[in-house]
Each structure stands twice: as structure tokens, then as C-alpha cells.
A = this chain, B = another copy of it.
Amino acid sequence: MLVMGIDPGLSRCGYGVVRGRGRAAEAVAAGVIRTAKTDPIPQRLYELQSELADLITIHRPETVAIEQVLFQVNVRTAMGVGQASGVAMAVAAGSGAEVAEYSPTQIKMAVAGWGGAGKEQVGRMVQTLLRLPQPLKPVDAADAIAVALCHLAHLPIRSSIRAAR
């Protein structure tokens, strides 16, 4: 089960590909797509679209799990994150992959055990769960891996919901 997690953003969009085997998970790839703040926003969104499409073509994830954008305190950046998440969702759906969305609280709960966990705590749990020698950098890549791990953690629940229908 190959899952690509995405932590959407316009300046920095984290991605992480994880292979799940039963209760174990291994990291396949992780990184950050960056776009230049000095470029026009449509150009930056197009670059994001192209790079995500390339990554999905290379890795062929069965599921793309995307962190849900909530209306945040920072209204100035929320629109860019919303636009980036829209682009990510369209590309993922167009690839034929299943697309799943998880809230920040669901992700923290799944990875660190409680919804109020900080970024550092999530990063340490990602390191532990994937048995990495050191914390994954940059933090956007670790966050994206956390989204993918959250999807893997929800799989047993999703399967039983499907079975119960």
C-alpha cells in the first residue's frame, strides 16, 4: 500500500511517500516543492501542479492523502494554502488515485497520540515510526509523511466501514 501525503502550501508544499505493510511503514521519498515568492501566483500554482503531477507519475501512489485546510488565524496565507490544496486535489484526482483528506487534529492524533501535539513532537514520532536515524528535514516533508501515516492508521477503520455497508 503506497500512500503519498501532501502538506499543501504555495511557498512550500511538503510531500512524502510511504509504503505500509501491515503495522509497519517505510519511507520511500520525501521533500518540499518550493515556489518563489517573487513570481506571479498563477505561475507558482502551475509549477506546483506540474511538480506534483510528475511525483505522482513517478511513484504511482494508490492514495494521495492531503492535509485539510482550515480557516486559520493568518488570513493572508490561508488563501494561498487553499489555492495550493485545490491544485493538489485536482492533480491527485486526475491521476486516478484515491484522494483522502485529514484535518490537522486527525493527523496529530494518529501520529503523536493527541490532537494538540506540536510540530517537533510530530517530527519525532515520524522519525520513530519510520525508524530514521535523525529527524526528517525540512519540517514540511515530515508533516507530509505524517499525513501519509495518518491515512495508513485509518485504513483498518475505513475497511471495516466499507465492510459494514
Interface residue SS majority, chain A: helix
Interface residue ranges of A128-142 to B (CB < 8 Å): none
* Residues in B whose Cβ lies below 8 Å from that of A82: 78-79, 82-83, 86
Q: How distant is A41 from chain B, measured CB to nearest CB, in Å?
A: 6
Q: B-facing mask of A38-63, CB < 8 A → 1, else 0?
A: 00111101101110000000000000
Interface residue ranges of A20-48 to B (CB < 8 Å): 40-43, 45-46, 48
Asked if B99 and A40 make an inter-chain contact with CB atoms under 8 angstroms apart, the answer reads yes
* Residues in B whose Cβ lies below 8 Å from that of A78: 71, 82
Q: Which B residue sits closest to A96, measured CB to CB?
A: B46
The one of B83, B89, B99 that contacts A89, using a Cβ cutoff of 8 Å: B83
Shortest 5 CB-CB contacts between residues of A and residues of B = A83-B86, A82-B82, A46-B93, A42-B93, A42-B89
Bound-state Cα–Cα, A50 to B92, Å: 13
Q: How distant is A136 from chain B, measured CB to nearest CB, in Å?
A: 26
* Residues in B whose Cβ lies below 8 Å from that of A101: 41-42
Q: How distant is A92 from chain B, measured CB to nearest CB, in Å?
A: 6
Offer 7 A-B interface pairs, CB within 8 angstroms, sorted by A.
Answer: A45-B89, A45-B90, A46-B89, A78-B82, A82-B83, A85-B86, A87-B90
Q: Which B residue sits closest to A79, measured CB to CB?
A: B82
